[in-house]
Amino acid sequence: MANCMVFHTQIASIMEVLANAAVAEICKLVDDDYAVFRLEITQSQKENRALRRKLLELKVARERAERTIPERVLASRPSSVKILDRYRGMARGEGHLTGGHRSFVKPAEHNTWRDDQPITVDEGSGTSTQHVIVIESADAESAGPGVKQERSDGKDDLWRSRDIQTGVPPVITEVPTTAPAQPRTQRSITEVSGTPNVVLKSQTDTKTLTVTHRLLHTGSDPERLGKLGCPAPGSEYLPVFLQSQRTVNSYGDGDVLDTGGDDPSCSYATEMDSSNMPLGLETQTDLSRGDWNQYSSSVYSEGCLDEKGEVIVIDEVTVKVEGDAPPTWNADSHLGDGHSQGTSFLDYRGSLETNPNVPTLSTLHTLRDRDPVSMSMGPSDSHGHVLFNQVLNSNDTARAQAQEGGATSGNSKEKRFLCMFCNKGFSCPKKVEIHQRVHTGVKPFNCTQCHMRFAQAGDLKKHQRVHTGEKPYSCTQCEKRFSRQDHLKMHLKVHTGERPFACTHCGKRFSERRYLRIHQQKNHSTL
C-alpha cells in the first residue's frame, strides 16, 4: 500500500516535470517566433521609412528642378506646351484624328482613377431616369518606356469617387448662379470605349495631361460618331466636359507642386490647387445643377457630329509640357496646311470674376501670348494674368455684358449649348467650341510664314494677306487698295465725310467709335 502511494507520488512528480518542460518548450518557441516576427516588422518599418525618404527626395528634387528652369529660357520658348487632340470612335474606330501628336495617347488598359474599373457615378440630385457616368480608363503604358505612370491610390480614388458621387467638383467651390437651368433631357454618359480619358504621365520634366471632353446626346445610338457640325434643330446634344484630371505639373514657381501630400504612392500626382494652377484645364461640371452642356467638344477639336445628330463625341486634349520642347508652338504641325490642329498654351489662374455670367468660379488665367516670339510661356504669372484680364476686360466682358446674360437671352434661336466659361449660348457645339477658344486661348490655325496663331481659320486667312500683300479691295475714289473689305469700308468714310459717332457733350463727331471714346475720356472724363 505504501509502495503504491510512493509510486503515485513519483508519477505525479514526473508528470509535473514533463508538464513544466512542455510549457517551457512552448514558451521558448513562442518567444523565438515572436522575436523573428518583431525583427521582420522592424525591417519592414525600416524599409518603409527608407522608401518614404526616397520619395521625399524625389519630390524635392523635382520641385527644385522645376523651380530652376530659367525664365529666360522660358521666355524664348513660348511653346512648351503641346495640345494633343484625338477623336476616338470616329465611325466606330476609324479615327478622324484632327491632327497633332496623336500618337501620344494610346488605348488604355489602366485607369488613373481606378485601375481597370470604370467608376459608375450616380448623379444623385437629378430627376431624370438615367444617372450614370462612367469614367473611362486611362493608359498607363502610353507614355512609353521610361515614363513613370502615376495613379491614385485607394485613398485618392475614394476621394474622387466621393466627389463625383456627390456631384461636387473636385477642385472648385461652386457659386450659386441664377443662370437658367439647362436642358436636362439626358444625364447619362456611357462608356464608349476603353480608351483613356485620363492620363497623367511624367518623364523627367515631361508631363502629360489628357482631358477628355464628351459630347453627349440622347440619341438611340450613342456610339455613332461622325463629323461635327451643328445639329439639326431639336436634336439632343448635350456637350459635357469632364473634369478628368486633378493633377498637373508645369513650370511653376515651385508653388504648385504639392506632390500628393501624404500620398506616398503618388509621387507625381499634384493636387490641382484652383488658385495655384499654372497649367491645365480647370473646368468643372456641376452635376448637381445639371450643367451638362457647359462644355462642348474639345478645346479646339473640330468636333464630330454626324448629320443625323446621333453622336457621342469623345475626344481628348492632351496638354504636354515638355521641358525640352522647341520654342515653336507646334513645330510639326504649324507648317503646311495652316489648319493644323495646333498648339496652345492653357493656363488658367484666377477667376472669371470680370464676367458676371460665369456660372462657376473656375480659376482661370491664361497666358494668351499675343506675341509668340517675345512672350514667355513660363511662370510669368503676372504677365499671363494681365493678358487674361485684357481679354476679359476688353472683348469678352463687354460683349458678355452687352448680351445681358449671354447664353440664354435675346435670341430667338435656341442656344442650348453654353460656354462653360461665360455661359454664353450657341446654337451648336461647333460654335461653342470655337467660342471657348476665347477663354482657353487655343489657336489651332498657325501661319506658315510667321508664328502667328489664330483661333479661327478665317482669321488666319486674313492674316496671310499680310504676307502675300494681296489687297483685293480697291477704293473707287482714290484707287487705294486694301486687304480687307472692312478696311475699305472704313476708308470710304474719308471720302464721304461720314462721321457717325457724335459726342453727346460737345457735339463733335468722329468717324470711329474709338475716337469718340478717346475724346470723351480726355475732354469729358469728369462728366
Partner DNA sequence: CTGGGGACGGGGCCC
Partner DNA sequence: AGGGCCCCGTCCCCA
**Which residue in 395, 409, 474, 477 binds DNA (CB under 7 A)?**
395
Site for DNA, residues 322 to 351, rule: CB under 7 A: none
92: contact with DNA by CB under 7 A:
no
Q: Please, which residues have CB within 8 angstroms of residue 309's CB and are 6 or more apart in sequence?
A: 217, 219, 231, 232, 235, 236, 237
Q: What is the DSSP letter of 120?
A: E
Q: Give yes or no for residue 463 binding DNA (CB under 7 A).
A: yes
Tell me the closest approach of the beta carbon of residue 461 to DNA, in angstroms.
5
Q: How far is the CB of 74 from DNA (least distance, A)?
A: 20
Choose which of 71, 457, 474, 524 interacts with DNA (CB under 7 A): 457
Q: Which of 522, 525, 526, 527 binds DNA (CB under 7 A)?
A: 522
Q: Which residues contact 446 (CB under 8 A, 6 or more apart)?
A: 329, 330, 333, 334, 335, 338, 340, 342, 452, 453, 454, 460
Establish if 523 lies at the interface with DNA (CB under 7 A): yes
Report residue 505 as a C-alpha cell: 457733350
Minimum distance between the CB of residue 525 and DNA, rounded to whole angstroms?
Answer: 10
Report if residue 242 touches DNA, rule: CB under 7 A.
Answer: no
Q: Count of residues binding DNA (CB under 7 A)?
A: 53
Q: Which is nearer to DNA, 62 or 415 (CB)?
A: 415
Which of 26, 158, 458, 505 binds DNA (CB under 7 A)? It is 458
Kindly report the number of other CB atoms within 10 A of residue 88's CB atom. 24
Binding residue (CB under 7 A) for DNA from 52, 53, 148, 489: 489
Check residue 398 for interaction with DNA (CB under 7 A). Answer: yes
Which candidate, 215, 169, 170, 193, places its Cα nearest to that of 118?
A: 193
32 is an interface residue for DNA by CB under 7 A: no
**Are 152 and 140 in contact, with CB atoms under 8 Å apart?**
no
Our CB check for DNA shows the closer of 383 and 493 to be 493
Does residue 470 belong to the site contacting DNA (CB under 7 A)? no
Beta strands in 132-236 (DSSP E): 132-135, 148-149, 199-203, 206-217
| CA–CA dist 427, 406 (Å, integer) | 13
With binding defined as CB under 7 A, does residue 87 bind DNA?
no
519 lies in the site for DNA, by CB under 7 A? yes
Of 97, 313, 293, the C-alpha closest to 225 is 313
Dihedrals φ, ψ of 192, to 5°? -95, -35
CA distances for 8 relative to 12, 13, 14, angstroms: 6, 9, 10
CB of 371 to DNA, least distance (A): 10
305 binds DNA (CB under 7 A): no
CA 226 from chain centre, in angstroms, equals 24
Q: Does the protein bind DNA through residue 456 (CB under 7 A)?
A: yes
Q: Is 190 in the site for DNA (CB under 7 A)?
A: no
Non-local (6+) Cβ contacts of 330 within 8 A are 79, 82, 100, 340, 342, 343, 446
- In a 3-state reduction of DSSP, which class is residue 86? strand
Q: How far is the CB of 111 from DNA (least distance, A)?
A: 35
Provide the binding-site residues for DNA, judged by CB under 7 A: 370, 391, 394-396, 398-399, 411, 424, 426, 431, 434-435, 437-438, 443, 452, 454-459, 461-463, 465-466, 480, 482-487, 489-491, 493-494, 499, 508, 510-515, 517-519, 522-523
